[in-house]
Amino acid sequence: MKRFIVTSALTAALALALAPHAFAAGAAEHYPTAVVRSEDGGEIRKMYDLSPEDDPAGIPRSGFEQEGFHYALTDLLKQELPEHESRQHTETVTVQSKNKDMASVLALLPETREFITEDGLKGTLTLKLDSVKVEAAGYGSSTKTLTATRTYPGLASQDTQYLPKTIEDSGHTLTLQSVNWQEESGGHYTAVAVYSGSATSSYVKGYTVTADYAGTVSRINLNKIRYVAIFEGTPLETEEPPVPEAPAAAEQPPAFRWGYVLAPLGILAGAGAGVGGALFWTRRHEDGGDEE
């Protein structure tokens, strides 16, 4: 398995600027976001992260030389890059309640809820209890008729002048509506008066409950495309410096041949030995003759 060394995008951009490139006519040049070089130098991969609107024709494809290698494009891979986008989000919800007690209100608010934001992020948010508010949704009014009966005995005649025209009943003013006269003994009369009026009361039509849910929303975006340009490297041939020729050896004088001297000396020595031997033998022979 090849091991790679990552080079910074800045260095990669400088290298691209110095290297010759071939682009499609009118295409904007793209610069890599990362450059990866194998440890042995045999391969360089250049990554380009482009948007779907970017034209990949702007990716350099020409060969180049670097650190003793000549690199040539062998493949251009394409890969969609999912991007995870997330953020904190608070969503305010509004519900209607007939009652304002907290038990009734919380029954309308689940502990967690699923939400999707307007720009498409979604997540599970949790209710913030300290954000719950209950307010009257509005007021209505109702009117009802009130009646009261009053008895006035011992009246001298059947004349309403003896009767009050209005009375107060439970905080409401009632007006005389009718009288029922009853005759008493002794020529007196009892008046049974009926008073009526109306009472208007207001009431709460309902309650508006607001509460905040908070949490993280996220989504996966497929809005980036990664192109990987693969360049295979070939070592550059280096010229070896010429080996200097050894200097010509100086002419040596002809070697002295001892054979030419020793051979005659050997002959002479042999001859001398032979003469010496002959003389020795003659001398011995003479000495022997004298002894006889």
Compute the chain's Rg from CA coordinates.
64
Domains of the chain, by residue range, sit at 4-83+224-235, 84-139+205-220, 140-202
Where does residue 263 rank: exposed (0-12), middle (13-18), buried (19+ CB within 10 A)? exposed
Phi-psi region of 14 (alpha: psi -120 to 50; beta: other; left: phi over 0): alpha
Chain segment 232-269, per-residue pLDDT in tens: 999 988 766 666 666 655 555 555 454 554 444 454 44
Percent of the chain whose pLDDT exceeds 90: 55
Read off the pTM.
0.43
| 220/176 Cα distance (integer angstroms) | 79
Determine the straight-line distance between the first and last CA of the chain, rounded to whole angstroms: 115
> Which of 13-17, 111-115, 197-201 has the weakest average pLDDT?
13-17
pLDDT band at 16 (very low <50, low <70, confident <90, very high): very low
DSSP letter assigned to residue 54: S
